[in-house]
Amino acid sequence: MSIMYGKRIRLRAVEREDVGKFHEWVNDPEVTRGLALYLPMSMQDEQNWFDGLSKRDPHQKPLAIEIHKGKAWKLIGNCGLFDIELAHRSAELGIMIGDKSEWNKGYGSEAMTLLLRHCFETLNLNRAFLRVYEDNVRAVRSYEKAGFVLEGRLRQAVYKNGKYEDVLLMSVLRSEWASRMKEK
């Protein structure tokens, strides 16, 4: 897969040089508040994660999210697909905007839109879905902007920060994606 370009961002392969930033982000409680991570990660853990990427299915490797800053590109997060079910033409998506100085600028929605385009136009999937914590209002709004709809709720499915929390299931179907693209 080549680099995917949006209006303000691009998605590219993750490189070893990205590991330091990822390590910083996955150890920031504000960043991980909306993620399934809850224990500190060592730099060695992060390097082992990167080293394991070469063994993954190419379609399930994470992608770096970069924004155009002047004449250069700035790494702000990562995203990707996992648990691709070929028989059902379905995959789960995930995203992390780790650079907090770039939050609330619409980059997450744009990244998810590019990822959905990849799901439906490159991989020929029929359904893309994700899980999001109920109290992550900013993320829910971002996903809705990208076309995701609420399809269910896992009640008190996670225990995080001293309390049980609901997990929302959101998805986009190929037919919904096609309709949105016709409107644009």
Q: Which two tokens stand for residue 66?
A: 């970069």
Give the pLDDT confidence score for residue 1 in this predicted structure. Answer: 57
Q: Which two tokens stand for residue 46?
A: 């992060």
Question: Running DSSP on this structure, what letter comes out for residue 120?
Answer: I
What percent of the residues of the chain are helix, what percent strand, and what percent coil, each to the nearest 5? 40, 35, 25
- Please state, in angstroms and rounded to a whole number, the distance separating the CA atoms of residues 82 and 119: 11
Give the pLDDT confidence score for residue 2 in this predicted structure. Answer: 80
Rounded to an integer, the average pLDDT of 96-121 is: 96
In the beta sheet, which residues pair with residue 77? 65, 97
Rounded to an integer, the average pLDDT of 45-74 is: 93
Residue 127 has pLDDT above 60, yes or no: yes
pLDDT over 70 for what percent of the chain? Answer: 99
Give the pLDDT confidence score for residue 101 in this predicted structure. Answer: 97
Non-local (6+) Cβ contacts of 123 within 8 A are 59, 81, 84, 91
User: Which phi and psi (to 5°) does residue 61 adopt?
Assistant: -85, 140
One-letter amino acid at 169 equals L
* Mean residue pLDDT across the chain: 94
One-letter amino acid at 109 equals S
User: Which phi and psi (to 5°) does residue 42 adopt?
Assistant: -80, 165
Q: Which of 76, 75, 94, 96 is nearest to 84 (CA)?
A: 94
Tell me, which fold does domain 4-183 have in CATH?
Aminopeptidase (3.40.630)
